């Protein structure tokens, strides 16, 4: 089959798939650009609303912070404390997640030096909304089907196909200079076409990677594929604490001492507390060399006897964990720090540019298929 014949088949596929799922990926791309800097924007919003916390020589222990929260609520037994995120900088608050009965969870902002509750992380509601829009277009479940996630997942795969066909259709394979050239002085239709092909080609690699990883995530195929690539002999067991009659759970201070012994030199980033008798403490830790806000290190500890049930060292991951970490870094753009995060924030805008330019091309190309009375419309590719 000749190249022209291949183009005749691929071109309508590229065009109509783009028009079909373009709006979905424009939404996913724009929300993704915001989520690239979610943590930074969240803390900026908190600082703007409540002002920066004045650092003091010593911060309270996490256990002391939680006791201040319990005292604030009058030690109510029906108020469950689910987790605490330790402040990432000296001028930002701790976040304590609590679960009041028959009410949505609350995330409290707590001064790590005084234990004072300074407010609620209402800004997070905006990012929860952005997450739902990004992951499932705000569409809920229908029975056992997560319809929104299925739509986004299928659209991600189709966008992956769109990127591949776009690369094949690119007219710069024989003349690279011409392929990356935008004729700014050309007629509007030619300028629109140049912007579409150049922006699409520059962003093609990153859009393809994010679309593919998003598709795999939507259908939970990432771990399945990793297991096919590197079958693990390890049988994953559900982590459960063994309740001992008459024995009280360990204090948070004791749990953190065990976690520090298990992963020395790593900084505690988050602690998930057991909410049921058979649940365990999960201490998320981060080594200075690790990327990301939370890192990838974690220790799971039995809440009664203090037995370490699981250790994940982010500096020495298993082969399977390393692949999953790379997978995550590729999707979020964290593999080279701030530079790739900025790049991904810009890449997230490109689906909107491609959608607008493709709609313009479709609008002005369609009449020539129905009439030969508009010769000016046939000059799309001419200056």
* DSSP secondary structure string for all residues of 288-308: TT--SSS-SEEEEE-TTT--E
For residue range 28-59, list pLDDT tens digits in order.
999 999 999 998 888 898 899 899 999 999 99
Q: Where are the domains of the chain?
A: 3-37+130-231+344-379, 57-112, 236-317
Contact assessment for residue 171 and residue 7, using Cβ atoms and an 8 Å cutoff: no
Cα-based torsion angle of the residue sequence 75, 78, 82, 83 in order, rounded to the nearest 10 degrees: -20
- Look up tokens 């569409």; give the residue: 139
pTM of the model: 0.83
User: For residues 246 and 244, what is the distance between their CA atoms, to the nearest angstrom?
Assistant: 6
Give the pLDDT confidence score for residue 280 in this predicted structure: 96
Nearest CA to 84 out of 94, 99, 74 is that of 94
Give the pLDDT confidence score for residue 383 in this predicted structure: 41
| 117-120: strand order across its sheet | 117-120, 106-110, 94-99, 80-85, 267-272, 281-286, 297-301, 308-312
Let me know how long the chain is. 383
Domain 236-317 fold is Nuclear Transport Factor 2; Chain: A, (3.10.450)
- Look up tokens 């650092």; give the residue: 55
- Taken in order 253, 256, 261, 264, the sign of the CA dihedral is negative
Question: Which pair of tokens denotes residue 43?
Answer: 């803390």
Q: Under DSSP, is residue 146 helix (H, G, I), strand (E, B) or coil?
A: coil
User: For residues 319 and 303, what is the distance between their CA atoms, to the nearest angstrom?
Assistant: 29
Residue 116: C-alpha distances to residues 62, 78, 79, 199 (Å): 13, 21, 18, 50
Confidence of residue 77 (pLDDT cuts 50, 70, 90): low
Q: Under DSSP, is residue 311 helix (H, G, I), strand (E, B) or coil?
A: strand
Question: Which pair of tokens denotes residue 30?
Answer: 């724009």
Contacts of 150 (CB under 8 A, 6+ apart): 218, 219
Partner residues linked to 94 by β-bridges: 110
pLDDT at residue 243 tops 90: no
Contacts of 304 (CB under 8 A, 6+ apart): 241, 242, 243, 244, 247, 249, 250
pLDDT at residue 172 tops 70: yes
How large a percentage of the chain has pLDDT more than 90?
Answer: 62
User: For residues 133 and 31, what is the distance between their CA atoms, to the nearest angstrom?
Assistant: 7
Q: Which of 7-16, 139-148, 170-179, 207-216 has the highest mean pLDDT?
A: 207-216
The end-to-end CA distance of the chain, in Å, is: 31
Partner residues linked to 283 by β-bridges: 271, 299
Give the pLDDT confidence score for residue 341 in this predicted structure: 93
Provide the strand spans (E) within 86-168: 94-99, 106-110, 117-120
pLDDT at residue 292 tops 80: no
Question: Which pair of tokens denotes residue 353?
Answer: 């540019």
For residue range 95-127, list pLDDT tens digits in order.
999 988 778 888 999 999 999 999 988 656 788
- Look up tokens 């790049």; give the residue: 343
pLDDT at residue 348 tops 70: yes
Nearest CA to 300 out of 285, 290, 314, 286 is that of 285
Nearest CA to 214 out of 28, 23, 15, 16 is that of 28
Q: What angle do CA 191, 194, 198 make, to 5 degrees?
A: 145
Q: Which helix (H) or strand (E) holds 289?
A: none
Residue 116 per-residue DSSP state: -
Question: Which pair of tokens denotes residue 41?
Answer: 């924007």
């Amino acid at each position: 089959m000749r190249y022209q014949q291949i183009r005749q088949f691929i071109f309508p596929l590229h065009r109509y798939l783009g028009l079909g799922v373009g709006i979905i990926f424009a939404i996913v791309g724009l929300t993704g650009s915001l989520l690239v800097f979610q943590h930074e924007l969240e803390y900026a919003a908190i600082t703007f609303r409540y002002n920066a916390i004045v650092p003091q020589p010593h911060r309270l222990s996490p256990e002391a912070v939680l006791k201040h929260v319990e005292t604030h609520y009058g030690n109510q037994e029906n108020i469950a404390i689910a987790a605490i995120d330790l402040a990432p900088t000296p001028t930002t608050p701790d976040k304590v997640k609590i679960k009041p009965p028959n009410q949505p969870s609350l995330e409290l902002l707590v001064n790590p030096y005084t234990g004072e509750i300074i407010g609620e992380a209402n800004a997070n509601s905006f990012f929860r909304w952005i997450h739902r829009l990004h992951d499932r277009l705000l569409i809920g479940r229908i029975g056992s089907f997560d319809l929104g996630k299925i739509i986004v997942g299928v659209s991600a795969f189709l966008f992956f196909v769109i990127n591949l066909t776009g690369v094949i259709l690119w007219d710069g394979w024989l003349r690279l200079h011409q392929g990356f050239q935008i004729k700014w002085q050309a007629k509007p239709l030619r300028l629109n076409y140049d912007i579409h092909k150049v922006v699409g080609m520059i962003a093609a690699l990153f859009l393809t990677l994010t679309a593919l990883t998003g598709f795999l995530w939507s259908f939970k195929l990432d771990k399945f594929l990793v297991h096919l690539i590197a079958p693990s002999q390890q049988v994953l067991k559900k982590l459960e604490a063994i309740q001992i009659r008459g024995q009280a759970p360990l204090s948070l201070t004791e749990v953190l001492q065990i976690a520090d012994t298990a992963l020395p030199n790593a900084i505690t980033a988050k602690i998930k507390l057991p909410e049921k008798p058979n649940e365990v403490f999960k201490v998320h830790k981060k080594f200075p060399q690790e990327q990301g806000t939370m890192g990838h290190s974690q220790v799971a500890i039995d809440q009664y006897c203090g037995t370490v049930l699981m250790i994940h060292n982010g500096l020495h991951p298993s082969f399977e964990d390393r692949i999953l970490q790379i997978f995550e870094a590729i999707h979020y753009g964290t593999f080279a720090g701030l530079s790739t995060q900025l790049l991904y924030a810009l890449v997230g805008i490109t689906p909107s540019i491609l959608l607008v330019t493709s709609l313009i091309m479709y609008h002005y190309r369609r009449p020539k298929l129905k009439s030969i009375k508009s010769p000016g419309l046939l000059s799309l590719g001419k200056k």
